[in-house]
Structure 1
Amino acid sequence: MVTSAEMEARIVRYGDLRPCKTAFIDAHTPGSDQKENFTIIGGGVSESPDQHVHISIPHGFNIGAAGQPPKCRNSLHSHRTAEVFFVLKGRWRFFWGRWGDAGEVVLEEGDIFNIPTGTFRGFENIGNDYGMIMAILGGDDAGGGVIWAPQVIEDAADHGLVLSEEGKLYDSKQGQTLPEGVKPMPLLTDNELKTYPEPTTADVIPGYVARYWDMVALADRTPAKVIGPDAMLRDRPGFEVSLITRGSASDAMHSHDNPSVLMPVTGHWKVTWGGGSATLAPGDTMSVPEHLAHSTVPSMTGEAALYHIVGTGDPAGPTWQG
């Protein structure tokens, strides 16, 4: 039996999230220097030892978040495995390509974006208030870190930050320098840059973006399969994502062979298992152990939607099929 105390240790409340403001190489670059990064489940991809990990239990995927004030952007980078975002708060513009001009899409609250692997991407808060996007990263090691567009590394050096070839960040403003024998992260060569795809907006949106209200409509009786081999966004990134609403929630007890994660978008949700229960609110993240029988239903009236993520054991491989 799993006790309430044991399960509470697997819940990260929105109000308890601990941000890192020095997680990445663009932490001092104007326009990106106000962003906050959160590592909720797994090791994440932070380049800074200051990053706090809330839950370190391996799930086969990572859960993180980015919080940014209006007009703050995250610089162009790439990953070797999946990077999926859904908007919790605010209005966000995602852009991609070597210079960020190959394509773009604007996402509203609840929308989800399975960003094509191997593509340079960035994002910015274009709303009027502090915004938050939640992230799912493929693999337990999150793909081995971040690959930055060359101009990001060059801009960071002008503002005192240097990244080592091992992916560790050094801040000259704090008197830090690369240790003897350690080389800086090399810039991608022109030939290497040619291997990064430049999909257009028309290429990307149909197969990689799902709108919240479309998913809600599909989830009126059964959960909407959002990411998976037979889902709205067909993919095998190492996890599957579904959206559950009031109409498709069930109090039937069920379990999964791999760890799963519950992330409310709207409404309050009661999770019940053999040893107790807990209530989740938007922005909370709950890790459910494998093989634990549980149920998840709205606990109050009104709109209610929740993202459900479960590991599949598939390799967290490429998503771009251009």
Structure 2
Amino acid sequence: MLTKEQLDARIVRYGELRPCKTAFIDAHTPGSDQKENFTIIGGGVSESADQHVHIKETPGFNIGAAGQPPICRNSLHSHRTAEVFFVLKGSWDFYWGRWGTAGRVRLEEGDIINIPTGIFRGFQNVGNDYGMIMAILGGDNAGGGVVWAPQVIKDAAGHGLILGENGKLYDSKKGESLPDGVKAMPILTDEELKAYPEPTNAEVVPNHVARYWDLMALAMGAPAKVIGEDAKLRDKPGFEVDLIRDGSISESAYTTARHEILMILRGHWNVTVDGIETILAPGDTMAVPPNASRAMHPSMTGEASMYRVRNTDDDAGSTWVPNQVNK
């Protein structure tokens, strides 16, 4: 049984998130230098020693977030495991390919994208205000880091940031340099770049993007299966995602042997874990441990929704297969 103190330690409130502005190699690059990175559960893929981690214990995947002012972008990179985003605030463009020109899709609040592994991707806040996207990264160690497009590494060097082969950043503006015995992260060769596909919108969007209002309709009487083996976005990335809304589930308590992460989208939710009651608000994240008793329902009338993430026994990510749904 959890104590109230233990339960509180498993909740990360939106208003208590601690940003890092130097998380990645493009932290000084104009156009990307205002972005903020948040590591909520697990170490994520931050390259900076300044990154604060709210909950270190991982449930088989990592939870993070990116906050960016209008026009700010995240540079092209690739992951070896799953990278799933949903929009908490604002309007966002996601794009992919070696130069970010192979495809592009715009997501609004509540929309979710399961970006295929092994593809260069970037994203940009195209709204009028500060925006926030929440991220789910496959694997306990999130696949061992980020692979950057060559131009990103070259641009960063011109602004004083060098990434070592050890995955750590060194900032010449702070008088830092690569330590003895540590080489710079090598830039991908033309031959290596051939392994990174250039899928079109028609290949990516139908199988990897789900719209919030479509999911809300699917969740009228039961949680909408969003990502999973038999979900709307069929994949096996080491976790599964449901959308829960008002009326989706019974208010009765239940248990599961899985880790369960609750990520609030809209409304306020009354959540009770092992008899301890709390209220979660939009942007809050709660890590419910396996086998604990839990119950949840909106605390007031009106629109209410959350994404619920559970670990599975699948590998943490699958490679891109053109013209097929990832399995």
Q: TM class, shorter-chain normalised?
A: over 0.9
- Contact 1:219–1:243 (CA<8 Å) still a contact in 2? yes
Q: 2:42 aligns to what?
A: 42
The separation in 2 between residues aligned to 1:206 and 1:280, in whole angstroms, is 32
Give the structure 2 partner of residue 279 of structure 1: 279
Counterpart of 2:70 in structure 1 is 70
State the alpha-carbon separation in 1 of the partners of residues 274 and 32 from structure 2. 45
Matches of 1:266 and 1:152, distance apart in 2: 35
Q: Distance in 1 between matches of 2:319 and 2:87?
A: 20
Contact 1:82–1:319 (8 Å) recurs in 2:
no
If the length of structure 2 is used for normalisation, what is the TM-score?
0.97
Take 1:274 and 1:40, find their aligned partners in 2: how far apart are those partners? Answer: 23
- Opposite residue 124 of structure 1, the aligned amino acid is Q
What's the Cα RMSD here? 0.7
Alpha-carbon shift at residue 319 of structure 1 (Å): 4.7
Distance 1:317 1:237 in 2: 4
- Tell me the equivalent position of 1:58: 58
Q: Deviations over 1:23-62 (max 9, x none)?
A: 0000000000000000000111000000000001120000
Superposition deviation, residue 320 in structure 1: 2.1
TM-score, length-scaled by structure 1: 0.99
The structural deviation recorded for 1:275 is 3.3
Deviations 1:130-172 (A, max 9, x none): 0000000000000000000000000000000000011110000
The equivalent of 1:305 in structure 2 is 305
Corresponding residue number in structure 2 for 1:119: 119
- The residue number in structure 1 matching 2:31 is 31
Give the distance between the partners of 2:84 and 2:207, measured in 1 at CA: 13
How do 1:1-322 residues align onto structure 2 when only pairs under 5 Å count? 1-322=1-322
Q: Tell me how far apart the structure 2 counterparts of residues 159 and 296 of structure 1 sit (CA, whole Å).
A: 48
Name structure 2 gaps, 5 residues minimum.
323-327
Q: How many aligned positions are there? A: 322
Give the CA deviation at 1:3.
1.6
Q: How far apart in 1 are the matches of 2:166 and 2:178? A: 11
Find the residue that maps to 1:207 and give its secondary structure: helix
Q: CA-to-partner distance for each residue in 1:190-231, whole Å, 9 max, x for gaps?
A: 111000010001110100000000000000000000000000
List structure 1 runs of 4+ shifted beyond 6 angstroms: none
Instruction: Measure, in 2, the Cα distance between the counterparts of 1:40 and 1:213.
Output: 26
How far apart, in 2, do the equivalents of 1:252 and 1:118 lie? 42
Aligned AA for 1:161?
L
Residues 62 and 136, structure 1, Cα contact 8 Å, conserved in 2:
yes
SS of 2:252 mapped into structure 1: strand
**Structure 1 portions without partners, runs of 5+:** none
Task: State the secondary structure of the residue aligned to 1:243.
Answer: strand
- Which SS does the other structure have where 1:38 is aligned? strand
Residue 220 of structure 2 aligns to a residue in which SS? coil
Match of 2:325 in 1: none
**SS class of match (1:134):** strand
Provide, for residues 106-143 of structure 1, a one-character-per-residue CA deviation record: whole Å limited to 9, x for no partner.
00000000001000000000000000000000000000
Contact 1:235/1:319 (CA < 8 Å) preserved in 2? no
Q: Residues 261-281 of structure 1, C-alpha deviation per residue, up to 9 Å, x if partnerless?
A: 001100000111223111100
Query: In the TM superposition, what is the alpha-carbon distance from 1:249 to its structure 2 partner?
Result: 2.8
Per-residue CA deviations over 1:266-321 (Å, capped at 9, x if unaligned) read: 00001112231111000000000011110111111110011000001211021522
**Structure 1 vs Structure 2: percent identity of aligned residues?**
70
Q: What's the secondary structure of 1:143's corresponding residue? A: helix
Structure-2 separation of matches of 1:250 and 1:17: 31
CA distance, structure 1, for counterparts of residue 14 and residue 255 of structure 2:
25
Counterpart amino acid of 2:8? E
The letter of the residue matching 1:200 is T
Q: Which amino acid aligns with 1:74?
A: N
Equivalent residue of 1:250, what SS?
coil
Between 1:178-187 and 1:28-37, the stretch displaced more is 178-187
